[in-house]
């Protein structure tokens, strides 16, 4: 006779499984959340300090960030195979393969950094092409060009972060990002406002500071990996012999994830461009709201990374039940966290927006947009964690299709409809994002249910 569902959920075995995965996910997620939040705080500090240099400088930075974020997320997606392969190798008891995977990822990171950095120098041409006002296009182009110089560094840093998280060592990355934020604030003070004899560069100065910080982070992280305890066990100092054999698998994982990241990021970038058509205050207001959402989403990134590592470990062990427990436990954790974020957005939008800008027009655009965002936080977090769980399980192409459907098929048209056709303005853009993440979370939940009940297959 089948055991009633209610008894299974209350059984000691269920409680042990849930508690074990919850503890492991939280232990790994907390420093990962701190690291990812620190990365976004770099951007938040840039926005806040640039906002005090004037509405136009904030518009230049906001417009210039959008395509750069698209390139950045595509590259990070390409590198995500680092975490998948490292966690599966570590779970299978083959730690010596982890260093080979890291070296392979580092080479890909530097190559992509050079290519994507070169693309950043076409920013002004791109902004003119899509119809931005000429002054905004020129200022945004200068911002993008400055981002280009730091692209190889940030990709190398990301590859190293993913390697360390894949072997369960997220603390060094957290320490590095704390130091990076202190350095970034100091350099912003120098280059945005022209203090201590430095040139007054506004938005471009904020990105110059970010670029310097990215190179410092990359150097420190790589140096740590080369001398960390257990470096021999993980083979981080080996030659490239045998490394290229993993390149095809690395790319087979990375390409679809890069496409998925590109689909999502390009959709959100399109919505920011929509804000540019409304006005400079709308650009700044929407960017502030988007940055607040992104700060909350760092919790989802941290929980998702931990969930993906746990799923990857379970795949390496051939543990089908472990895959299910890891994925759904992570989804539960992020739902609880994102509910608190939504309550904060709804309860104190003026206070949060005031951190970024004192401009009345920007505040008027940002406050209602943040309040709309309060309702989407749970779904945004759920789709982020479920995507990471599917990545950890090695599910490749179907999530890409789901991202395309959710973000380009629903979000972008809905944002245009709400903002322009129905006249909701900047808050309407966020309503469109609400639709996109809701659709994505539903589709990815159904997909994970299917994948986690299939026979385990390691990449």
Please give the Cα distance from 91 to 326 (Å, whole number): 14
169 torsion bin: left (phi>0), alpha (psi -120 to 50), beta (else): beta
Tell me the mean pLDDT in the region 362-371. 92
Whether the per-residue pLDDT at 29 is higher than 80: the answer is: no
Contact (CB, 8 A) for 252 and 396:
yes
Whether the per-residue pLDDT at 8 is higher than 60: the answer is: no
> How does the average pLDDT of the chain come out, rounded?
85
Q: Which residues, 6+ apart, have CB-to-CB distance to 47 below 8 Å?
A: 58, 61, 62, 287, 288, 291, 356
Predicted structure pTM score? 0.73
Tell me the mean pLDDT in the region 258-285. 82
Whether the per-residue pLDDT at 13 is higher than 70: the answer is: no
Two tokens at 427?
A: 């808050």
The predicted pLDDT at position 6 comes to 43
377 torsion bin: left (phi>0), alpha (psi -120 to 50), beta (else): alpha
pLDDT in tens, 435-450: 999 999 999 999 999 9
Q: Which residues, 6+ apart, have CB-to-CB distance to 263 below 8 Å?
A: 400, 403, 404, 407, 408
Tell me the mean pLDDT in the region 35-55. 80
pLDDT in tens, 115-135: 999 999 988 888 888 777 788
């Amino acid at each position: 006779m089948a055991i009633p569902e209610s008894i299974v959920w209350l059984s000691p075995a269920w409680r042990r499984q849930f508690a074990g995965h919850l503890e492991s996910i939280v232990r790994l997620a907390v420093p990962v959340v701190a690291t990812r939040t620190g990365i976004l705080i770099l951007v938040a500090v840039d926005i806040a300090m640039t906002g005090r240099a004037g509405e136009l400088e904030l518009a230049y930075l906001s417009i210039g960030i959008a395509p750069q974020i698209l390139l950045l997320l595509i590259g990070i997606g390409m590198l995500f195979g680092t975490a998948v392969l490292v966690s599966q190798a570590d779970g299978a008891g083959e730690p010596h393969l982890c260093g080979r995977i890291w070296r392979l990822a580092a080479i890909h990171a530097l190559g992509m950094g050079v290519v994507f950095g070169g693309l950043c120098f076409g920013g002004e041409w791109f902004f003119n092409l899509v119809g931005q006002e000429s002054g905004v296009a020129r200022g945004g182009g200068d911002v993008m060009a400055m981002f280009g110089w730091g692209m190889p560094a940030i990709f190398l840093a990301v590859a190293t972060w993913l390697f360390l998280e894949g072997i369960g060592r997220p603390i060094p990355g957290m320490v590095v990002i704390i130091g990076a934020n202190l350095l970034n604030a100091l350099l912003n003070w120098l280059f945005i406002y022209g203090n201590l004899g430095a040139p007054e560069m506004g938005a471009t100065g904020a990105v110059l500071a970010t670029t310097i910080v990215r190179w410092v982070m990359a150097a420190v992280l790589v140096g740590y990996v080369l001398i960390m305890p257990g470096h021999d066990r993980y083979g981080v100092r080996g030659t490239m012999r045998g490394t290229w054999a993993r390149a095809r698998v690395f790319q087979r994982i990375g390409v679809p994830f890069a496409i998925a990241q590109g689909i999502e990021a390009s959709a959100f970038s399109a919505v920011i461009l929509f804000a540019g058509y409304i006005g400079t205050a709308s650009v700044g207001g929407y960017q502030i709201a988007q940055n607040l959402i992104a700060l909350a989403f760092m919790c989802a990134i941290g929980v998702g990374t931990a969930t993906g590592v746990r799923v990857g470990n379970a795949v390496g062990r051939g543990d089908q039940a472990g895959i299910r427990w890891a994925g759904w436990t992570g989804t539960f954790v992020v739902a609880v966290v994102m509910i608190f974020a939504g309550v904060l957005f709804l309860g104190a939008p003026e206070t949060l927006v005031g951190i970024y800008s004192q401009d009345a027009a920007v505040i008027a655009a940002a406050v209602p947009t943040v309040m709309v965002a309060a309702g989407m936080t749970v779904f945004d977090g759920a789709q982020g964690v479920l995507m990471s769980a599917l990545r950890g399980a090695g599910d490749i192409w179907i999530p890409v299709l789901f991202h395309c459907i959710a973000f380009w098929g629903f979000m972008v048209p809905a944002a245009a409809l709400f903002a322009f056709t129905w006249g909701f303005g900047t808050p309407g853009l966020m309503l469109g994002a609400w639709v996109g993440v809701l659709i994505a979370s539903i589709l990815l939940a159904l997909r994970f249910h299917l994948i986690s009940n299939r026979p385990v297959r390691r990449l």
